[in-house]
Amino acid sequence: MPKAFVVVNPVAGSAEDSAHGDIAAHFAAQGWESEIHGMSGDEDVSALVREAVARGCDLCVGSGGDGTVSAVADGLVGTDVPLGILPAGTGNVLARELGIPTEMDQALDLLTGEHDIAPLDMIRVGDTRYVLNVSIGIGSLSMRDTKTTAKQRFGVLAYALTILRTLIGYQPGLFTVTVDGRRRVIRAAEVIVANSAAIGNPDVRLSHDVHLDDGRLDVCVVRARTLLGYVRVAWDVLSRRQEDSRTVRCIPVQETVRIETRRTLPVEADGDIIGDTPVEATLERAAVRVVVPKDRRRY
């Protein structure tokens, strides 16, 4: 009988404790044995996943937001056990980009039914890996200042409102960005080390040349000085003109990027604040394998 280890974040977005029973019942009905771990908020998820792999599991699943899924993926690096995703967070950016259904029952059907397994690059910072991006600037400041209760109540809107508040009086800063040994000094509102270029929705992207499995990272530099400048960025992105725009520039990274700032700024990774600048990020190619739909659209 195949075994699944499922990590459930009961406070991510709209996820609830009742999900435990639904998930276990689905796996049992499909002939799977499952172990459900409900997060308390202070455990080392990656370590729990590694322990589950050592006990012998065939699938490790993250049920929650992008941060939860990222932590499960980190624990799977160096193993052949695939990652499963049950989207239950605020944005669910990774799931949307991979074409995974955002409805729980459909996502469960994908895990135990017909699917493909795809490689996924990751970003390593220190000893921890992330699946989407690492950002510094207006976005990380807004993420730091968005309260968990607001995210649960208002979803993505809570983050958007915090960005608007943060923009008042915000001035772009100087970033020293060293990509594969080459140093640049850049004035920007935001610098993002991107494995994914999606902004909430996979159709809305900082670049159409950045992919989760392309064997590289990209440093996306967002240039905006005022609210009007951000309107221009949004217009370029929504009209798919970002590759020809001066508001967004992407620099490919083959191995490592280091970002330093004149004033200390928070660093955000996959929806969580992980520390302050300076930060160094390293590409790990095809670090994990993930369950995806057979007919998924590639962005």
pLDDT tens track for 20-75: 788 999 999 999 999 999 998 788 999 999 999 999 999 999 999 999 999 999 99
- Other Cβ atoms within 10 Å of 14 Cβ, number: 12
Q: Centre a 10 Å sphere on the Cβ of residue 166 and count the other Cβ atoms it contains.
A: 19
For the chain, the structural domain boundaries read 3-113, 130-286
Residue 95 gets which letter from DSSP?
Answer: H
Closest CA to 63 of 36, 29, 81, 87: 87
CA distance 200 to 284: 23
Angle at which helices 66-76 and 45-55 cross, to 10°:
50
Partners of 173 in the β-ladder: 188
Question: pLDDT-derived band of residue 14, with 50, 70 and 90 as boundaries?
Answer: very low
3-state SS assignment for residue 168: coil
The DSSP code for 13 is T
- Who wins on pLDDT, 233 or 271? 271
CATH fold, domain 130-286, is: Tumour Suppressor Smad4 (2.60.200)
- Residue 120: beta bridge partners? 288
pLDDT digits (tens, 9 = 90+) for 119-163: 999 999 999 999 999 999 877 777 776 655 555 555 555 556 656
**Taking a C-beta distance cutoff of 8 angstroms, is the pair 50, 77 a contact?**
no
78 Rama sector, left if φ>0, alpha if ψ -120 to 50, beta otherwise: left
pLDDT the model gives residue 279: 98
For the cut 80, the answer to whether the pLDDT of residue 4 exceeds it is: yes
User: Distance between CA atoms of 39 and 178, rounded to whole angstroms?
Assistant: 37
Phi-psi bin for 155: left (phi > 0), alpha (psi -120 to 50), beta?
A: left
| 8 Å CB contact between 123 and 160 | no
How far is residue 14's CA from residue 90's CA, in Å, rounded to a whole number?
7
Asked whether residue 262 carries a pLDDT value surpassing 50, the answer given is yes
pLDDT of residue 111: 98
For domain 3-113, give the CATH number: 3.40.50.10330
Nearest alpha-carbon partner for 192 in 175, 208, 167 = 175
Q: Give the per-residue pLDDT at 272.
A: 87
Which residue is listed with tokens 């004149």? Answer: 262
Q: Looking only at Cα atoms, what is the longest distance across the chain?
A: 59
**130-286 matches 3-113 in CATH topology:** no
Give me the pLDDT at residue 15, please: 44
**Per-residue confidence (pLDDT) for residue 166, from 0 to 100:** 61
Q: Which residue has the higher pLDDT, 109 or 169?
A: 109
The mean pLDDT of the chain is: 86
Say if CB 111 and CB 63 are below 8 A apart: no
Q: Write the DSSP string, 216-258.
A: -EEEEEE--SSHHHHHHHHHHHHTT-GGG-SSEEEEEESSEEE
Question: What's the distance, Cα to Cα, between the start and end of the chain in Å?
Answer: 36
Q: Which range has highest mean pLDDT (82-91, 113-122, 226-235)?
A: 113-122
3 state DSSP class of 87 = strand
